[in-house]
């Protein structure tokens, strides 16, 4: 558990440029010492001595939008919905997916919706050391009004009172954040704000009073997105319909965006092997381009971007965060900004920035040793030479 990484190039996640020939010591799972240059004298004997020559050290990655109960793939979401009463099956799948995320370099994650709130049990089991996975902050169930889409892994409510009871139920059940759906589409195809300003504010107040963040799923239309931002939601999930006016308000309120560009990208890349219909392809293309335009608007407005894939809640598979970062670079983030979207900024959105998100003394040793430099090529985040979670070697 005690080790020293010598002579490594450090990209610490704070936004500082990379520093060559750094030495990083880890004691009892915590980063205890960082220094530059040749080591004259190192006071601790019995440390594992790791040669970091020609490698780059970065913080462990964070995916801010996952659904561990779902596998992803073509039928992943519907399978999760169909089997939503088989708790053992859902839980074992969630355990497998947590492992997949972990070995891909993801040391923390946010789960934003699972059947029966099973992700809270997953997060607790990992924290207790019973199973292995990233540090998970879980919303439990995903709450929304009964007028919007009704997959069985979301909990639907039909009044302000019912929403209040449902949020309180999540809080008392151990939720680490509150997740609601704030947008919907009527049968005539028009989008609308499903909660309205009043219920949006109620949810935010209940969450914040309990010390939790509030996240709003917004894929259908500007009205609901506006209401969510205006009410003070901490994050908007999916950058689909963000106009300049909403972007301006997000900047003013300090709202985070979690674009989830992977979800539309995956559908388009898979369209041929799935033999998707013309309509499905057109719809994915339309969402892809509105989402890219919205994300670019967010970048231009200087909004805080946290990376998330929607793994399990879409065809995206768990452990895919690096591809999301590649897509963020394609739409305009620098590699440094993309890395921070999945480290420092992501930790700030989750609220565990005192523990993780950067390589600094006093932080948990959630570390990736890479063959390559992600500031030169973001894809090198896939080339994990060694990985540590709280100082424990994972790979
Ligand atoms: Zn989702």
Find out whether 145 and 195 touch, Cβ atoms under 8 Å.
Answer: yes
Of 19, 55, 11, 14, nearest to 37 (Cα)?
19
Same domain, 372 and 230: no
Q: Which pLDDT tens digit goes with each residue over 138-160? A: 999 999 998 776 666 788 999 99
> Ligand 1 centroid vs 315 CA: distance in angstroms?
11
pLDDT band at 79 (very low <50, low <70, confident <90, very high): confident
What's the pLDDT at 42?
67
Cα(313) to ligand 1 centroid in Å equals 5
Last residue of a domain, one of 319, 334, 350: 350
How much is the pLDDT for 153?
72
Taking all residues of the chain, what is their mean pLDDT, rounded to a whole number?
94
Residue 260 CA to ligand 1 centre (angstroms): 8
Give the rounded percent of residues in the chain with a pLDDT score beyond 70: 98
113 CA from centroid of ligand 1 (Å): 7
Instruction: Give the pLDDT confidence score for residue 41 in this predicted structure.
Output: 66
State the CATH number of the domain containing residue 308: 3.20.20.140
Is 289 found in the same domain as 323?
yes
What pLDDT shows up at residue 82?
Answer: 76
The answer to whether the CB of 95 falls within 8 A of the CB of 122 is yes
Look at 44 and 114; give whichever has higher pLDDT: 114
Q: Which two tokens stand for residue 336?
A: 């440094």
Distance of CA 373 from the midpoint of ligand 1 (Å): 30
Say how many Å lie between the CA of residue 48 and the centre of ligand 1: 40
In terms of domains, do 331 and 217 share one? yes
What is the Å distance from ligand 1's center to 184 Cα?
14
Shared domain check, 54 and 65: no
pLDDT for position 152:
65
Whole-number Å distance between alpha carbons of 307 and 313: 15
Domain match, 362 and 274 both = no
Q: Specify the pLDDT at position 86.
A: 85
Q: Does 54 share its domain with 95? A: no
Which one is predicted more confidently, 37 or 240?
240
Q: What is the pLDDT of residues 272-309, one digit of tens each?
A: 999 999 999 999 999 999 999 999 999 999 999 999 99
- How far, in Å, is the centroid of ligand 1 from the Cα of 238? 8
Average of per-residue pLDDT across 95-104 = 98
Give the structural domain span for 303. Answer: 61-350
Q: How many Cα atoms sit within 13 Å of 344 on the Cβ side?
A: 16
| Same domain as 276, residue 153 | yes
Q: What pLDDT is recorded for position 150?
A: 65
The total domain count for the chain is 2
Domain CATH number, residue 389 = 2.30.40.10
pLDDT for the residue numbered 328? 98
pLDDT value for 196: 96
For residues 187-209, average pLDDT: 95
pLDDT at 1: 76
Mean pLDDT of all residues in 56-83: 91
Cα of 67 to ligand 1 centre, how many Å? 6
286 Cα: distance to centroid of ligand 1 (angstroms): 19
Question: Which pairing describes strands 61-66 and 19-27: parallel, antiparallel, or unpaired?
Answer: unpaired
Ligand 1 centroid distance, CA of 5 (Å): 37
Closest CA to 22 of 385, 322, 334, 361: 361
DSSP string, 189-251: S-EEESSHHHHHHHHHHHHHHTT-EEEEE--S-HHHHHHHHHHT-SEEES-SS--HHHHHHHH
The Cα 168–Cα 170 span in angstroms is: 5
Task: Find the mean pLDDT for residues 237-260.
Answer: 96
Q: How far is the CA of 56 from the centre of ligand 1 (A)?
A: 32
Residues 188, 41, single domain; the answer is no
Q: Which two tokens stand for residue 99?
A: 């492992």
Least-confidence region, from 43-52, 194-203, 259-268, 299-308: 43-52
Report the alpha-carbon distance of residue 231 to residue 223 in Å, rounded. Answer: 12
Cα–Cα distances (Å) from 23 to 8, 14, 198, 383, in that order, read 7, 17, 53, 21
Rounded mean pLDDT, 221-236: 96
Give me the percent of the chain exceeding a pLDDT of 90.
87
Distance 344 CA to ligand 1 centre (A): 21
Residue 211 CA to ligand 1 center (angstroms) comes to: 22
Distance CA 350, CA 179 (A): 13
Instruction: Mark whether 52 and 179 lie in a shared domain.
Output: no
pLDDT, tens digit, for every residue of 3-45?
999 999 999 999 999 999 999 999 999 999 999 988 766 667 7
* pLDDT at residue 395 tops 70: yes
Between the CA of 310 and the centroid of ligand 1 the distance, in Å, is 5
Q: Identify the weakest region by mean pLDDT among 154-163, 204-213, 245-254.
A: 154-163
Assess whether 341 and 363 both reside in one domain: no
Same domain, 34 and 108: no
23 CA distance to ligand 1 middle (Å): 39
CB 160 within 8 A of CB 202: yes
pLDDT class of 85 with cuts at 50, 70, 90: confident
From the CA of 66, how far away is ligand 1's center (Å)?
A: 6
Mean pLDDT of 72-81: 84
Mean pLDDT on 77-94: 84
Residue 253 Cα to ligand 1 midpoint, Å, equals 23
Q: Is the same domain home to 67 and 53?
A: no
Beta-sheet pairing, 61-66 with 56-59: unpaired
């Amino acid at each position: 558990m005690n080790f020293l990484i010598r002579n490594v190039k450090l990209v610490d996640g704070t936004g500082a440029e990379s520093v060559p020939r750094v030495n990083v010591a880890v004691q009892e799972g915590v980063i205890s010492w960082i220094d530059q240059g040749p080591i004259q004298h190192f006071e601790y004997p019995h440390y594992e001595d790791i040669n970091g020559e020609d490698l780059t050290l970065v913080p462990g990655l964070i995916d801010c939008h996952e659904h561990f109960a779902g596998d992803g793939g073509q039928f992943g979401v519907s399978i999760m919905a169909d089997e939503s009463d088989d708790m053992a099956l859902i839980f074992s799948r969630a355990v497998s997916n947590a492992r997949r995320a972990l070995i891909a370099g993801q040391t923390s994650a946010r789960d934003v919706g699972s059947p029966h709130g099973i992700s809270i049990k997953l997060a607790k089991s990992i924290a207790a050391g019973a199973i292995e996975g990233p540090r998970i902050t879980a919303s439990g169930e995903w709450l929304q009004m009964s007028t919007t889409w009704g997959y069985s892994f979301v909990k639907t409510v039909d009044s302000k009172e019912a929403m209040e009871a449902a949020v309180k139920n999540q809080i008392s059940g151990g939720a680490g954040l509150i997740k609601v759906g704030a947008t919907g589409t009527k049968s005539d195809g028009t989008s609308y704000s499903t909660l309205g300003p009043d219920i949006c504010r109620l949810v935010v107040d209940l969450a914040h009073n309990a010390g939790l963040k509030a996240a709003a799923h917004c894929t259908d239309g500007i009205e609901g997105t506006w209401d969510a931002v205006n009410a003070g939601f901490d994050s908007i999930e999916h950058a689909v319909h963000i106009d300049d006016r909403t972007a301006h308000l997000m900047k003013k309120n300090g709202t985070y965006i979690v674009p989830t560009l992977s979800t539309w990208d995956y559908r388009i890349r898979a369209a041929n092997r799935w033999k998707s219909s013309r309509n499905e392809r057109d719809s994915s293309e339309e969402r892809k381009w509105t989402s890219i335009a919205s994300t670019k608007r967010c970048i231009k407005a200087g909004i805080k971007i946290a990376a998330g894939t929607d793994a399990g809640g879409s065809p995206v598979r768990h452990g895919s965060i690096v591809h999301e970062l590649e897509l963020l670079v394609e739409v305009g983030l620098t590699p440094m900004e993309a890395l921070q979207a999945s480290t420092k900024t992501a930790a700030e959105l989750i609220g565990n920035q005192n523990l993780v998100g950067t390589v600094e003394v006093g932080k948990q040793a959630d570390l990736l040793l890479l063959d390559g430099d992600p500031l030169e090529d973001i894809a090198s985040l896939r080339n994990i030479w060694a990985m540590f979670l709280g100082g424990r070697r994972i790979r």
